[in-house]
Amino acid sequence: MKRLLLAASVLPFTTFAALADMYQATNWMAPSHILNAVAYEPFAKEIAEATANRVEFEIYSSGSLVPAPTTLQAIGDGVAQLGIVAASYTPSELPLSGVINDLAFLARDDYAAAFALAEIGVLNPELIGEYTRHNAIFLGGYSTPIYNFFCMKPISDPASVQGLKIRTAGTAQNEWIAFLGGIPVAVPMTDVYTGLERGSLDCTLSDPTNLEFGYKFWEIVKHVNRLPQGSSLGATYVLNKDFWAALSTEDRRAILDLTGKALARAQVAYHQGVDSALKGSAERGIDIAEPHEAMEARLKEFQDGMVAGLAKRTMDQRGIADPTPIIEEYIALTQKWSALLEGVDRNDVDALAKLVHDEIYAKVDAATFGLN
């Protein structure tokens, strides 16, 4: 595979584009992770084929090019031309995206959450502008599967959570566990397995794919409670704006036409990973419990209060204008996508891809998108 000749940080972009044999794509996922193996590797291959090799990407996974917290800056600076961005790492730079990430705690349908994120990010002028200020273009997003409790002790009603040490990530999860009387604990995911094993953690919140893949929690946890506690959102495809502008309209159109299928493929892989992980966990003797009615009621109480106070808290903490229109639009889009997905086979990548393309990318003008 041809290597990149010169980095964008060394030469002006126009020179870089003229001399480069291959562009750089970055993510911090392990090579086997869905967001690399499913979301990136096939996408890069399809782009090369669709553009007659005019646009080829060398993929750097595992943070080998740049780490997660500096990916947005690296893309804006041209160190990479494509990458995954998580707004949680850059709350000051992407405050509106951060608001949407907070709303992910409401998610019960990860497909709807992901496709709503893609739609608002590609079509909403404020979200477009947020990335443009960093010389970047948002092209699509993902949602992890819905988070559940993975525990060493059984979880049932709200009282069963009191006093438990539970690994959390983000404001909503922290406040939710405290609301139940549990103790939110902030540790890296890489430390969760040993924390559960040694008793410094009683539970973690995570999506079910992590039972089987990656962290392999099914080797240690005893109980899974399926209470749906939102998801985690991220920008799957963020492009350097100068790189995008230097492409021909034909090549921009080709990339746009491939994006819906790429997003659909990743969500299907997550969906199938959940099924596999839960089946395998049950076979290993892990107790898998459905949520208690009282826990569902407490969750709704917490979520209603979170949404009611989100706009004010965001204005106070992030110093931005009232984000209520963004909050309302994203919630409405998740409802729209849940309705659109009714009756659609969630294992059918082509059917999902067509729906995403028709609703989002077919509406994008390749001659003007991302150029202002």
Q: Express each pLDDT in 183-222 by its tens digit.
A: 999 888 889 999 999 999 999 999 999 999 878 999 999 9
Reported confidence tier of residue 6, pLDDT bands at 50, 70, 90: very low
Task: Give me the half-sphere count of Cα atoms (radius 13 Å) on the Cβ side of residue 15.
Answer: 8
Do the beta carbons of residue 35 and residue 84 sit within 8 Å?
Answer: yes
The Cα 98–Cα 96 span in angstroms is 5
All domains of the chain in start order, with CATH: 13-91+105-145+232-278+342-363 (3.40.190.170)
Query: What is the token pair recorded at 129?
Result: 């502008």
Predicted TM-score of the model (pTM): 0.89
Query: What is the token pair recorded at 81?
Result: 């031309």
Query: What is the token pair recorded at 344?
Result: 């659609």
DSSP 211-228: HHSTT-GGGT--EEE---
355 versus 317: the higher-pLDDT residue is 355
SS3 for 82?
strand
SS3 for 125?
helix
Least confident span in 10-24, 208-222, 300-314: 10-24
DSSP 128-185: HHHHHTTTEEEEEEEEPPPPEEEESS---SGGGGTT-EEE--SHHHHHHHHHTT-EEE
What is the structure's pLDDT at 121?
Answer: 98
Query: Which pairing describes strands 82-85 and 233-240: parallel, antiparallel, or unpaired?
Result: antiparallel
Query: What is the token pair recorded at 217?
Result: 């929690």
**What is the average pLDDT score of the chain?**
92
Handedness of CA 289, 160, 301, 303 (dihedral sign): negative
203 versus 19: the higher-pLDDT residue is 203
Residue 14 has pLDDT above 60, yes or no: no
Under DSSP, the state recorded for 5 is S
What is the structure's pLDDT at 317?
Answer: 87
**Residue with the two structure tokens 């086979």:** 345
**Residue with the two structure tokens 């090799």:** 53
Residue 18 has pLDDT above 60, yes or no: no
**Residue with the two structure tokens 């995008």:** 244
Q: Please name which of 89, 189, 18 lies closest in space to residue 75, comparing C-alpha atoms.
A: 89
What is the structure's pLDDT at 141?
Answer: 98
What is the structure's pLDDT at 15?
Answer: 35
Interval 131-151 mean pLDDT: 98
